[in-house]
Amino acid sequence: MLAANLPILPVIVPLLGAPLALLLQRSSLSWLAAMVAALAAFSASVLLLMQVSAEGAQSYALGGWAPPWGIEFRLDTVNSFVLLIVSAMACVVLLFAPQSVAREIPRQSHALFYTAFLLCLAGLLGMAATGDAFNLFVFLEISSLSSYVLIALGRDRRALTASFQYLIMGTIGATLILIGVGLLYVMTGTLNMADLAERLPAVMDKRTVHSAFGFLIVGLSLKLALFPLHLWLPNAYAFAPSAVSAFLAATATKVAIYALLRFAFTVFGVEFAFEEMALQWALLALSIVAILYGSVAAIYQTNIKHLLAYSSIAQVGYIMLGVSLISQTGLTAGIVHLFNHALMKGGLFLALGCIIYRCGGARISDFHGIGKTMPWTMAAIVVGGLGLIGAPPTVGLISKWYLVLAALEQGWWWLAVFVLAASLLAVAYVWKLVDAAYLHDPDPDTKAREAPLTLLLPTWALIGASLYFGVDIDLTIGVASQAAAQLLGGAP
Amino acid sequence: MIVGLFNYWVVIALMMIGFYIVIAHGNLVKKIVGLNIFQTSVFILYISAGAIAGGAPPILTEGVTTYANPLPHVLILTAIVVGVATTALGLALVLRIHRAYGTVEEDEIHDMDGTL
């Protein structure tokens, strides 16, 4: 019975866990409910990925209503990989959460925090799992609304304005997606993605379909923070509680990227999306600008959470650059960087959480002498930073390697040179942290000491994984190239 | 052209009015109102698309063969719920911003903190 319902479990368990976490009230009990739900979602995702790799795509009809009339959950390698990334990040961040949350969020809000966290998790997993275009919008809004709440829980009053700004921009993005889905329904009479992919070719030349494509792509680009639609991201990440920054940075934009891939490749088809609608060139140009803008802006930040947030904009640029090459290698690079970036940025934000826990802030001045007072935390930041640069032996190298290979495959040596040169910008902002931490003396009356083990372990779990997957690349590259092949192969 | 597509012209007009309010107004409550108008235009888009010329309301009746399509109406009911939740959350945030800053004007908040 459980095996037959496996595809729905990653979504339904956190969704049911959310009201439970609220009812339990006590901080520790709510945390326990969240942790159990996230672990269950993670184990279900692992089983699903194994099942999908072995048997091919799985389809699940919600409530027994056969697709295309009912809502269908459809899992292939691409989205079961995304499910795995998101649920794994949720588990690690929840391990980190209790102590960090106790410091940063008032006690009476703890149960609400875990409730919103589980709703956000359920929304993100639902977005990844669903095979229904309208259902994707609903899950997107579940995850967005709860992430506005999570961001607003930050201690600084600027968290409120950041959350409000995200709410306005996020709602506009989601409404654009809603318009796109509506126009597709008007033209085809269906909402099921596989069914849409079958019926769309007959009406491909209609202007309604063209505008539906435009609305969907712009709406999703807003959610994934593609330059110049990234304006909500820096403040939202910077003023959210540490655990929330880590979770959102590692998952929220990734799921939106997945949704964009799903619409562009599976629903509309490669030829229509990238050639007829010229999305390839738009993505290529915007991702190059995103890499330059994000990296340069990161160099000038004094709040390190802002620095990492701008670096995220650049890293989204790298992912989309891989996608815009429309080749097996390019897509593999994009998808594998989706995973790698989640590890690195999640780990870095957790390490920042350790520093905020001990020093009360994450300004560059808080970093002075940290290399001596908090050696393990700072070592994690250095390894994560090396990953962002793309230095061996971290996962960053694997992403960059495949990206350069894909560029050379197309004969675009200038792009390969650009990718390597842009890494130097990452060196500049990572060096800023190293310089402050190791070459400045700590404040004489500082009380900073090494972060507690309960915070260090989850941080190093992610940073360690970013080292491990930098050496053992068979697993991630294997899954990513299978996913890329499925996307390029058309209908799921 | 204009009469036949009247609903859609209204949709476009409302959408642009709402979007303009969100961009141009500095008052956070007015931004929420603009966002609401923007979303409402999409509700009308869906509902209009469900109408069928000469179609009866989608309730099974004897002697009627043409019905309006109920699915877009049901879909948009979900979107309306989402819209209500967004408005409620937005207003709650405005309330807390007012407590923290003593104002809901964007430029005054910007002067104090440099955000928004």
Question: Which of A141, A165, A174 lies nearest to residue B116, judging by beta carbons?
Answer: A165
DSSP annotation string for A9-64: HHHHHHHHHHHHHHHH-SHHHHHHHHHHHHHHHHHHHHHHHHHHHHH--EEEEGGG
* Contact residues on chain B for A235, CB-CB shorter than 8 A: 115
Give the span between the Cα atoms of A489 and A466, in whole angstroms.
30
* Contact residues on chain A for B72, CB-CB shorter than 8 A: 182, 185
DSSP A109: G
pLDDT of residue A148 exceeding 90, the answer is yes
pLDDT of residue A370 exceeding 80, the answer is yes
pLDDT of residue A120 exceeding 70, the answer is yes
Q: What is the predicted pLDDT for the residue at B115?
A: 57
Torsion-angle region of A25 (φ positive above 0: left; ψ -120 to 50: alpha; else: beta): left
Tokens of A206: 């209609």
* Contact residues on chain B for A186, CB-CB shorter than 8 A: 49
pLDDT of residue A89 exceeding 60, the answer is yes
pLDDT of residue A490 exceeding 60, the answer is no
- pLDDT tens, residue by residue, B10-32: 999 999 999 999 999 889 999 99
Largest Cα separation within chain B, whole Å, is 68
Residue of A272, A412, A406 lying closest to A327 (CA atoms): A406
CATH 3.90.1300.10 fits B6-113, yes or no: no
* Beta-ladder partners of B43: none
B-contacting residues in A 165-224 (Cβ below 8 Å): 165, 167-168, 171-172, 174-175, 178-179, 182, 185-186
Is the Cβ–Cβ distance between B5 and A137 less than 8 Å?
no
pLDDT of residue A378 exceeding 50, the answer is yes
Question: Quick one: A472 exposed, middle or buried, by C-beta within 10 A (0-12, 13-18, 19+)?
Answer: exposed
pLDDT of residue B71 exceeding 50, the answer is yes
Predicted TM-score (pTM) of this structure: 0.93
Q: What is the predicted pLDDT for the residue at B2?
A: 65
Q: What is the predicted pLDDT for the residue at A99?
A: 87
* Contact residues on chain A for B93, CB-CB shorter than 8 A: 148, 152, 160, 163-164, 167
pLDDT of residue A67 exceeding 90, the answer is no
Please give the mean pLDDT across all residues of chain A: 89
Give the span between the Cα atoms of A290 and A3, in whole angstroms.
43
Q: What is the predicted pLDDT for the residue at A491?
A: 42
Provide the 10 A C-beta neighbour count for residue A382.
18
Provide the 10 A C-beta neighbour count for residue B5.
12
Of A351 and A371, more confident: A351
Give the span between the Cα atoms of B91 and B33, in whole angstroms.
10
Inter-chain touch A164–B97, beta carbons under 8 Å: yes
Give the span between the Cα atoms of B74 and B69, in whole angstroms.
10
Q: What is the predicted pLDDT for the residue at A492?
A: 42
Tokens of A128: 């990844």
Largest Cα separation within chain A, whole Å, is 73
Is the Cβ–Cβ distance between A322 and A283 less than 8 Å?
no
Give the span between the Cα atoms of A153 and A133, in whole angstroms.
31
Inter-chain touch B115–A235, beta carbons under 8 Å: yes
Tokens of B72: 């877009």
